[in-house]
Structure 1
C-alpha cells in the first residue's frame, strides 16, 4: 500500500469522542515511531509527511493547532520573488515550486491568485524597476511548472485598472504594474487541514497537552511525558505524574520556542504586526496595494483584501521579546498607518483600526558543539530555516510558511538518516509523497486530476455560500449536514460565517475551547466586538458536542 492509498477519511474527524479515545489509549501505554512536538504549520506538515510514509506518529501541542506564529502571517503563499533581489536564486526557485504545489494540488480550495498592485505616480526610469522584478517572477513561475491559469502573468495596467483593483489608491496614480502571487484564505485553516489530513493517514493529534522529553533510557528509546494544559468538558482526571509514551525519535517543531528543547539552537523573535480594517473603508479592493516605505528601496507595506469583509495591513519587522500571544504596540500601528497613507486617497486613522495582530518569526542560529559541525550537518538546507539532530531529537525551525512542506520533508528525511532512530522504526518507511497529497476539502479544481473528480467536487459545493466553500472546499456540504446546533445556516452576527462552521470546529476540527473556535478555526476573534458577539454561539457548540 502506498502513502496515497492509506488515507482513511473517518480518521480526519477530530471530535471530542476522538480525543477521549486517544487519551484512553495513551494512558494504557503507547509507543510511536515519531513524536512531533508543536502543531503549527511545520509540525503539522511533519506529522503528515511521516504518517503518509507509513510511520506511527503522535503530534502534541501545548495549546491549540496554529496557536503560535502560524496564525499571525500575512496569509500569503509567496513565490520567492523578493529573494531574487538579494541574489538568493535557490531559495526563490524552491519557494516558487512549493507555492505551485500548494495552489494546484495540496490546497487549491484554500488558496487564490492575488493581484499585487504597484501604483506609479511618475514616469522616471526608476519607476519601471518593479516591472523588471515582475518579469523575473514570471520566469520563476514558468520554471516551477505552475500554470498561468493558476497564476496569470504580470502586466502593466492603466490608472483606471489600478483604481478598479484598489479603489482607495491615491488620485496621483498614472499607471501601475500587477503581479500575481498566492494568497491563503487563512493560515490557521491550512494548519487545521494539515493536522486532519495527517490524522487521515494514521497520525494521532493531541492538543492542550505539554510534552517533555525525559532523560535518556537504557534501551535508546525516547520517553515523552504528557501533561494536560487544559481539561476539556467531561475528560477524566489525568495521573499527577502525567502520561508516558515512548518513541524511536522526536521532532521538535516548536518554532520560536525551539530553544527550550534544543539548547544548541538560538532563536531571536522578530515581530511582524498587521492591522485589521473594514474593506469598505478602502473601497472593497480586489488587489493588494503595495506601498513603499519612504526612504527605503526594499521595504514595503501591503494592504491585503481578505475574508469577512476585512483588509489586513502590514507589516513591521522588529526585534521582540518572547510572548505566547504577541501584542501589537501603538508604535507599530502608527508606523504602518504613516507608511500606507502615502499611497491612499483617503487617510486612515487609528479610529479605522478594528483590530491588530502580531506574530513572532523565529530568526535562528546555531551555537555550541552543533555550530562547529554545521557545515556538515546542515549543508543541504536553506539558510532560511534550520534542521539539526542531537540524541534522537530532530529540531526544525525558522523558514517561511510557503516552504513548510519542504521543511517537513527534510526534517523527516533527517530523522530517517539517523541510525538510532531508523533501526527502531518498525517496517520500512516509504518515500515522501506530500507534493501529491491533497488536504481534506481539496476540490482539485486547479490540479491535474480528472474532469470527473472536478465535477464531483463542484456538485458537492453548488448552491452553498461562496465564503463557506472558500473555507471548506469539498467539505462545505458536510459542514451544514453535520451541524449540532439549531439554525446552522444562519450567519453569526453580521459576519459571513455560519453557525454550522462554529459547530464543525468542535465536532470535526479538534476545537476544545472558545478561543480555539473564535481565534483559530475562524478569525472572528481578530475584532474584539465580533468576538464578544460570537462567544455564546461558541459555548453552545461546545456544549452540544458533548451530548
Structure 2
C-alpha cells in the first residue's frame, strides 16, 4: 500500500509538457490562495510549504527552475562557519539544524555529508582559534537536540595525517589541519525535485511564465498579469496573497507597484571554477579563510569546484559575468595552498551567481547579513528576501505563515517531516544497488549515478532504458550522463529548452571543456523528438545555445566586470519576449 502511495505521488509530481499546459489553464480560470513568483529554492520551497498545508497554490517562473542564484551556488549545505566571526550564533544554529534535516530526513538522496580540511600554517594561535570555532560549530549543531549530531565531530590532524588525506596540499605551507563535516548537494537538481514535490501536492507550476504587472483593487494586490514566454500570450492570475521570492530581482517590483517595496537587496557576485579531478591530488574538501572571503576547493564527481568571490555587482542580473580577473584571482588563491599549481588549461567550466543580501547603508558585501526578512509592502503582496540556500525551508515557512494570516484554519508548516520525491526508501535502494543493477542489466556504476541524482525515482529512468535501449547510451560529449536523463528531464522535470538540460538538469555546461558544444546536437535530437520540434526550432535551439557558450567564453577573457558584462549580453534568450541573456 505504501509503495502504491509513493508511486501515485511520483506520477502526480511529473512536470510534463501536458502538465504545464493544464496548470497554465488552471491559472487562467481558478482563484488561488497563494501565487508565488520565482522558481528558485525559496519560491519552490514556499510552494511546497503552502501546498502541503492544503492551500491552493500557483507558482510562476520567468525562465527555468533555479535558473538564477539557486543553480550557481557553492553546492554546499552548511551552517556558515565564517558567520561565527560575526557572532551570528542563532543563524548558524538554525542552518546546522536544517543541514541535519536535509541530510537525514528531507533529501538524503540529494544531500550528502562532505569531509573538510581546514589547513593550518603551524602557528599555535591559529590551531587554537580554528579549533575553538569548530568546537562551537559542533556544539551548535547538537544544541537543543539538533538533528545534525549524526555528522562526525571535528578532529585535529598532524601534518603527516593531513598529507596522507590530501597529498596535493603544499608541504611547505601546510603544517597540519582540522577535519570537520558539512554537506554537499547539486543545487539545481534539489530545486527541480522540490518543484516536483510541490506539484505532487497539487500546486500549479509553470516555468517560462513571467509576471509583467499586478492586479490591484485600491491599495490591495489581488493578482498578477503573467506572460507565457513560449507563446507571448498574457493572462491574469487571481490570488488572495502573492509571495514574491525574487532574490536579486526584488527591487524590480517597485516599478510594477509604483512605490518602494520596503526592502533594499544588494547583489554580491560569487564565481566558481570547475577543474579536472586529476589536476588536484586529494579526496576531501578544503576551506581556507582569505582576506575578503572564503576559498573552497570541493570534490564534485569527476571534477573540483573552486570558489568563491564576494564582490558588489550592479550590472546585468539575469546572467552575471565572470571576468578574466575573477578567474585569475581564484587560481592564485588555490595555487597558494596547492603543491602543483593550476593553470587556465585545467579549468573546464566557470559559473557566476548573485547572492541576494539585505542591505544597510555602506557595508561591504562580505559583511552584509545572510539573514532573511519577510515584508508586506502592500496588502496582499509579501516579499521574502535574503537568507541562503541551506535555510530555504525557514524562509518559505515564514513567508507562508504571513500569508496564512489572511486565511482561516491553515495548519502549521509540515515541511520538516516531508521527504522530497525520491527520498522514500532511498537507503534501502542504495544498499540493494547491486541487485538492482543485476535485475535491470545496467552497469552498477550507472545505477549508483542514478540513485545519487534521483533517489528511488531512478527506477523511472531505468524504465526508459528498458523502453528504448538507445536511451541507455551515454550523452554525446558527456559520458557521465545518459540519453535517458534528457528524455526524463522533458517528460518529468519541466525542461523546455536545451539550456535547461545542459545547464541545470545535467551540469554538462560547466563540467566539460567544450561547455556542451559537443552535446548540444544529441540533446536537441532527443528533446525535439519528445516535444515535436520541427527543423527550424531545432536549428534555433542549437544556435542559441552555441551563442550563449561563445558569449560566456568571451566574457571570461575580458579584464573587468563592465567589459565582461557587455560581452555576455551578446547572447539573446531563446524564450520569446526575453531580450536578455539566457
The question of a shared fold, defined as TM-score above 0.5 by the shorter chain, is answered with: yes
Alignment of 1:133-532 (within 5 A): 133-143=133-143, 145-146=145-146, 150-172=150-172, 173-184=174-185, 186-217=186-217, 222-231=222-231, 239=233, 242-262=234-254, 263-264=260-261, 265-283=263-281, 285-293=282-290, 296=291, 299-307=293-301, 309-321=302-314, 322-365=316-359, 384-389=371-376, 390-417=378-405, 421-422=406-407, 428-443=409-424, 454-455=427-428, 458-459=431-432, 462-463=436-437, 464=444, 465=446, 466-483=448-465, 486-492=469-475, 493-526=477-510, 527=512, 529-532=514-517
User: What's the CA shift for 1:331?
Assistant: 1.2
1:482 CA drift (Å): 2.8
CA distance in 1, matches of 2:429, 2:504: 29
Query: Distance between the aligned counterparts of 2:149 and 2:403, measured in 1?
Result: 38
**Out of 531, 538, 548, which is 1:546 matched to?**
531
> Larger deviation: 208-217 or 175-184?
208-217
Q: In structure 2, what is the equivalent of residue 378 of structure 1?
A: none
The alpha carbon displacement at 1:365 in A equals: 3.9
* 2:24–2:204 contact (8 Å) kept in structure 1: no
- Count residues with an aligned counterpart: 499
Deviation at residue 306 of structure 1 after TM alignment: 0.8
SS in structure 2 at match of 1:439: coil
Distance, in Å, in 1 between the alignment partners of 2:360 and 2:238 is 28
CA change 1:457–1:168 in 2 (3 A) is closer
Q: Distance in 1 between matches of 2:297 and 2:176?
A: 18
Please report how far the alpha carbon of residue 528 of structure 1 lies from its aligned counterpart in structure 2 after TM superposition. Answer: 5.3
CA deviation after TM superposition for structure 1 residue 485, in Å: 6.0
Match runs of 1:84-123 below 5 Å? 84-123=84-123
What is the TM-score of this pair, normalised by structure 2? 0.81
Shift in alpha-carbon separation, 1:219–1:514, aligned structure 2, 3 A? same
Q: Where do 1:56-95 residues align within 5 Å?
A: 56-95=56-95
Larger RCO of the pair (alpha carbons < 8 Å, separation 6+): 1
State the alpha-carbon separation in 1 of the partners of residues 149 and 355 from structure 2.
32
Q: Say if 1:301 and 1:439 are closer, same or farther in 2 by CA, change over 3 A.
A: same
> 1:85-138 deviations in whole A, cap 9, x for unaligned?
211111111111111111111111111111110222425333332122111121
Write out per-residue CA displacement over residues 3-35 of structure 1, whole angstroms, 9 at most, x where no aligned residue: xx99833211011121222234444x2211111
SS in 2 for 1:224: strand
Question: Structure 1 residues 227, 147: closer, same or farther in 2, change over 3 A?
Answer: closer
Partners in 1 of 2:179 and 2:312 — Cα distance? Answer: 32
Q: Find 1:534's aligned residue among 519, 534, 538.
A: 519
Alpha-carbon distance between aligned partners in 1 of 2:70 and 2:179, rounded to the nearest angstrom: 27
Query: In the superposition, relative to structure 1, how do residues 144 and 188 fare at CA in structure 2: closer, same or farther (>3 Å)?
Result: farther
Cα distance change of structure 1 residues 258 and 485 upon mapping to structure 2, 3 Å threshold = farther
Contact 2:215 2:221 in 1 (8 A): no
Q: Is the 8 A contact 1:485 1:540 kept in 2?
A: no
SS in 2 for 1:476: helix
| SS of equivalent to 2:63 | coil
Q: By how many angstroms is 1:334 displaced?
A: 1.2
What RMSD over aligned residues (CA atoms) do the two structures have, in Å? Answer: 2.4
Pairwise CA distance, 1:346:
0.6
1:34–1:57 contact (8 Å) kept in structure 2: yes
Structure 2 unaligned blocks of 5 or more: 255-259, 362-368, 438-443, 533-582
Deviation of residue 146 (structure 1)?
A: 5.0
Distance 2:310 2:219 in 1: 46
**How high is the TM-score relative to the length of structure 1?**
0.86
Cα gap change, 1:457 to 1:431, in 2 (>3 Å): farther
Mapped contact 2:221–2:379 kept (Cα < 8 A) = no
Contact persistence 1:287–1:304 (CA under 8 A): yes
Tell me, which stretches of 5 or more residues in structure 1 are unaligned? Answer: 232-237, 368-381, 446-453
Give the conservation status (yes or no) of the 8 Å contact 1:276–1:356: yes
For the residues of structure 2 that align with 1:358 and 1:219, how far apart are their CA atoms? 38
Query: Are the aligned partners of 1:100 and 1:144 in contact in 2 as well (CA < 8 Å)?
Result: no
Q: Give the CA deviation at 1:460.
A: 7.0
Secondary structure of the 2:168 match is: coil
Distance 2:118 2:219 in 1: 60
SS of 1:496's equivalent in the other structure is strand
SS in 2 for 1:326: coil
**Whole-Å Cα distance in 2 between the matches of residues 113 and 343 of structure 1?**
24
